[in-house]
Amino acid sequence: MLDPQDRIRFEHLVLPHLNSAANLARWILRNRADSDDVVQEATLRAYRFFVNFHGGDARAWLLQIVRNTCYTWLQKNRPSELMTEFDEEVHQRPAANPETIATQTDERQRLMSAVESLSPRFKEVLVLRELEGCSYKEIGEITGIPIGTVMSTLSRARERLRQVLTAAAPATAKEVS
Amino acid sequence: MNCELVETTIHGYFDGELDAVRSAEFEQHLEHCSRCQAVLEGLESLRTQLQQGDLYAPASPELREKVRRQIAGETNEARIESVSSWKKWFLLPAFGTMAAAAALIAIMLFVIPSHTQSTLTAELIDAHVRSLQPGHLFDVQSTDQHTVKPWFDGKIDFIPPVSDFAAQGFPLVGGRLDVVDGHNVAALVYGRRKHLINVFIWPRRENETIAEGSGSREGYNWVAGQSGDMRIYLVSDAGLSDLRELKALIHP
């Protein structure tokens, strides 16, 4: 059972990574309302499991719980999104196809839509690496991807993002290139 | 020209994950492989785009507050449960009265006056954590106080005291604008060994008395005080003694 001492430790070790938790969930789930709920649930779970945390990388530990909570939530609420990942290279989610993205003039919006259009598995490695600055070892720990395949997953995710961005480039830019 | 290394090794190289030998081998290969050179350039521009695209989505103050409250609630529940498991009938009435009285006194004496201070501290710690995300630390990166100080000119309606304290072990790293408590503040970034210290500075309101203080929260240390007409607030994971030392340098 957790006592006030544990709570202080939790606040010192785990809560400073709340931004990382919010960021990861926001990208996996693609919207703020759902991801806030999931982060709340995940931190509560983390708090209850805190007795099982025996030091080490607190950020990776928290993000692992957040990531698993996200996937459980997806399975329950949007199972179709988890199905698409097996044929990622063949199909695209209709939510953000290149045409819709291309009409977005705002560069940042275009980039956001492109990242969001990727499958959860591709998004998570990209977000962890490029926005969170995680090492391959940490990415492996958080996602459960064997460390040997983190590199190739990242490679495929980056290639996919590049394709979406190229296909979605505004018409003028495409003519130039 | 096609090259199979673009599928794998180049990413390890780009991410700094290859050991020295493989990294050197790849660099040798890179000299002659135009395909790899082009892909590497593409990776770099993609990363720049992602990091400068302001995509990072940190926790909102509301979420932070919800999580804090939830954890506080969980701790209280756990405590009451463990009491109730044995001396419930005996203790509960007394406990209830005492707790209510204690809570009332706490609210009267402590919570209300310190509320603004505590919200402010939470907000500044959030600002500090936010600044540590890639690409968020400074708007002007310079170790030269004569570059940093004029940079603020025209962006805020006050002139923050900017000095480099590299000789004393606190090199100036840069500065940026931040918004805290609804107004613009200047944030100066100093280094301290491997730590970064954010110094938030904004003008004191007339007749406003500033509580000097320091403390720790969520693993971060903070020191609050004033310097002339300015409020200054230092936040970092560096030790409190370091923060006090820097504060004494800023305002002897």
Select from B50, B63, B219 the Cβ nearest to the Cβ of A16: B219
What are the distances in angstroms from CA B14 to CA A79, A111, A148, B19, B38? 34, 21, 16, 12, 13
Average pLDDT over residues A75-81: 88
The contacts of residue A38 (CB under 8 Å, 6+ apart) are A25, A29, A66, A69, A70, A73
The model's pLDDT over B10-31, given as tens digits with 9 standing for 90+, comes to 999 999 999 999 999 999 999 9
What is the residue range of B241's domain?
A: 61-250
B77 and B48 within one domain: no
Q: Which range in A50-64, A82-96, A113-127, B92-106 is most confidently predicted, on average pLDDT?
A: A113-127
B81 and B166 together in one domain: yes
**β-pair partners for B186:** B177, B201
Is A169 touching B (CB cutoff 8 A)? no
Weakest-pLDDT range from A28-32, A170-174, B124-128, B167-171? A170-174
What pTM value is reported for the model? 0.58
Give yes or no for A73 touching B (CB within 8 A).
no
Does one domain contain both B41 and B161? no
pLDDT at res. A158: 95
* Per-residue pLDDT, A175: 43
pLDDT digits (tens, 9 = 90+) for B136-165: 777 777 778 888 888 888 778 888 888 889
| 3-class DSSP assignment, residue A144 | coil
Write out the H or E segment, with its range, that includes residue B183.
Answer: strand B183-192
Smallest CA-to-CA distance from A120 within A71, A169, A47, A66 is with: A71
Q: Are strands B230-236 and B183-192 parallel, antiparallel or unpaired?
A: unpaired
Written as one string, the DSSP assignment of A36-90 is HHHHHHHHHHHHHTGGG--SS-HHHHHHHHHHHHHHHHHHHH-HHHHHGGGGTTT
Domain boundaries, chain A: 1-77, 86-170
Task: Return the structure tokens found at B55.
Answer: 């995509």
Query: How many other β-carbons are positioned within 10 Å of the β-carbon of residue A30?
Result: 20
Model pLDDT, residue B208 = 72
Lowest mean pLDDT segment, chosen from B83-92, B160-169, B186-195: B83-92
| A1-77 has CATH 3.40.50.460 classification | no
Contact call for B219 and A155, based on CB within 8 A: no
As a whole number, the mean pLDDT across chain A is 84
Which range among A149-163, B68-82, B101-115 has the greatest average pLDDT? A149-163
Mean pLDDT of A99-118: 78
* Res B61 pLDDT > 70: yes
Once rounded to an integer, what is the mean pLDDT over residues A21-34?
94
- A162 in reach of chain B (CB within 8 A): yes
Q: Are B158 and B107 in contact (CB under 8 A)?
A: no
Strands B172-180, B220-227: pairing kind:
unpaired
Same domain? For B25 and B126 the reply is: no
- B101 shares a domain with B38: no
Q: How many domains does chain B have?
A: 2
Which residues on chain A are in Cβ contact (under 8 Å) with B56?
Answer: 19, 23, 131
How far apart are alpha carbons B226 and B238 in whole angstroms?
20
Whether B33 and B69 share a structural domain: no
* Chain B contact set for A7 (CB, 8 A): 71-72, 75
**What is the rounded CA–CA span in Å between residue B195 and residue B184?**
25
Q: Which residues pair with A107 in a beta bridge?
A: none
Instruction: Pick A175 or B166 by higher pLDDT.
Output: B166
Q: Find out if CATH 1.10.10.10 is the number for domain A86-170.
A: yes
Q: Based on the domain organization, do B72 and B43 belong to the same domain?
A: no
Q: Over range A35-52, report the average pLDDT.
A: 92
Q: How far apart are the first and last CA of chain B?
A: 65
**Token reading at B49:** 């785009």
Residues B117 and B241 in one domain: yes
Q: Which residue has the tokens 């004569």?
A: B146
Which among B36, B40, B48, B49 is the top mutation candidate for probing chain A, defined by the most A β-carbons within 10 Å of its own β-carbon? B49
- What's the one-letter identity of residue B8? T
Q: Range with the lowest mean pLDDT among A128-142, B39-53, B95-109?
A: B95-109
User: Is pLDDT at B249 greater than 50 in this prediction?
Assistant: yes
pLDDT band at B47 (very low <50, low <70, confident <90, very high): very high
Torsions phi, psi of B221, nearest 5? -105, 150
- Is residue A38 predicted with pLDDT exceeding 50? yes
Tell me the residue type at A76: K
Mean pLDDT of A150-176: 79
Which of A3, A14, A18 should we substitute to test contact with B (largest number of B Cβ atoms within 10 Å)? A18
Residues 96-125 of A with CB under 8 A from B: 107-108, 111-112, 115
In B, minimum Cα distance to A15 occurs at B218
What residue in A sits closest to B129 (Cα-Cα)? A16
**Partners of B234 in beta bridges:** B199, B223
Helical residues (DSSP H) of B168-231, grouped into ranges:
none
Residues A138 and B175: their CA atoms lie apart, in Å, by: 31
Predicted-complex ipTM score: 0.84
Res. B73 pLDDT band, cuts 50 70 90? confident
Please check whether residues B72 and B20 belong to one and the same domain.
Answer: no
| B171-to-B62, B140, B176, B243 alpha-carbon distances in Å | 35, 15, 16, 13
Lowest pLDDT segment from A71-75, A105-109, A118-122, A173-177: A173-177
pLDDT band at A131 (very low <50, low <70, confident <90, very high): very high
